[in-house]
Amino acid sequence: MNGQLESPLFRLPAELRNQIYEDLLCANTPTKLSDLANAARLPVPASTHPAILATCKRIHSEAKDLLYTTHVFHAHPSLLTALPHLMTTSKPVLYPTVLSKIKRWQLTVRLDTDPRFTAAQATIAFSGAEFLELKVWQSTFDGCDAAVLKLFTGVRGVKFCRVKGSVEEGLARWLEGRMMSPLEQRGEIQWCECQGERYARCEGCERRVRLSGNGAGVWVEEGDVWRFGNR
């Protein structure tokens, strides 16, 4: 890879080249996390032109991170951060080398169906993310509880998290704070599996709560605190 100074593009200042890359790869998408966090809704990506990355090694080196670190990618409903997509599910991201660069995520979580992932998988997938939006949805208003959301209580270190949709306001804010807590903190819930049964231990009373097969239990509200307990 050489300087390619005969090219008009590379004779431009780096700031102008970066603006060209942004217009081609992430138009209408905030590059700063603060701008993305303050947006009322996720930006609709404009048409992207990733073919520019294949023109030469220098452009690829300078611009490749913009495409994957700026956009909010849609996580797969069961595989989570595997096979994410930006515009359409028919064109998922496949390559591990670029999957590791994606740090901004949106996931639609259905409350009225059994989840196809575990709490451990959700923790591994989203802990340390730069941005995470959980779009909570159910087909019938007030048709089910929020038990599925307990699968995300182990997620930590998210820089900015937003929980919206068919979820109680107090629970949404509590879960956001929990997922944005530092990675060093350990959750109050300690999981164990003994003799084929799965349990969580309540921080307050130290009693064990048996979980159903999908990790569902019962939310208990005590003042402004949401915790896990039994009925």
Q: What is the pLDDT of residues 44-83, one digit of tens each?
A: 777 889 899 999 989 999 998 998 999 999 999 999 999 9
Shared domain for 136 and 152, answered yes or no, is yes
CA dist., res. 160 & res. 133, Å (int):
9
In a domain, 194, yes or no: no
Shared domain for 124 and 108, answered yes or no, is yes
Number of domains composing the chain: 2
CA dist., res. 60 & res. 53, Å (int):
5
In a domain, 216, yes or no: no
Shared domain for 84 and 50, answered yes or no, is no
Shared domain for 84 and 95, answered yes or no, is yes
Shared domain for 99 and 181, answered yes or no, is yes
Q: What is the pLDDT of residues 102-130, one digit of tens each?
A: 999 999 999 999 999 999 999 999 999 99
Shared domain for 51 and 118, answered yes or no, is no
Confirm if 126 and 132 have CB atoms less than 8 A apart: yes
Shared domain for 181 and 81, answered yes or no, is yes
Would you state the structure tokens that stand for residue 154, as one six-digit string? 């182990």
Residue 41 has a pLDDT of 87
Shared domain for 15 and 113, answered yes or no, is no
In a domain, 152, yes or no: yes
**Higher-scoring residue by pLDDT: 154, 3:** 154
Strands 131-137 and 104-110: parallel
Q: What is the pLDDT of residues 151-184, one digit of tens each?
A: 999 999 999 999 999 999 999 999 999 999 998 6
Q: Which of 204, 207, 206, 202 is nearest to 228 (CA)?
A: 202
In a domain, 124, yes or no: yes
- Per-residue HEC secondary structure of 79-118 comes to CEEEEEECCCCCCECCCHHHHCCCCEEEEEEECCCCCCCC
Shared domain for 21 and 124, answered yes or no, is no
Task: Reply yes or no on whether the pLDDT at 21 is more than 70.
Answer: yes
Model confidence at 201, pLDDT cuts 50, 70, 90, reads: low
In a domain, 59, yes or no: yes
Domain residues for 52? 1-71
Task: Reply yes or no on whether the pLDDT at 211 is more than 50.
Answer: no
Residue 29 has a pLDDT of 87
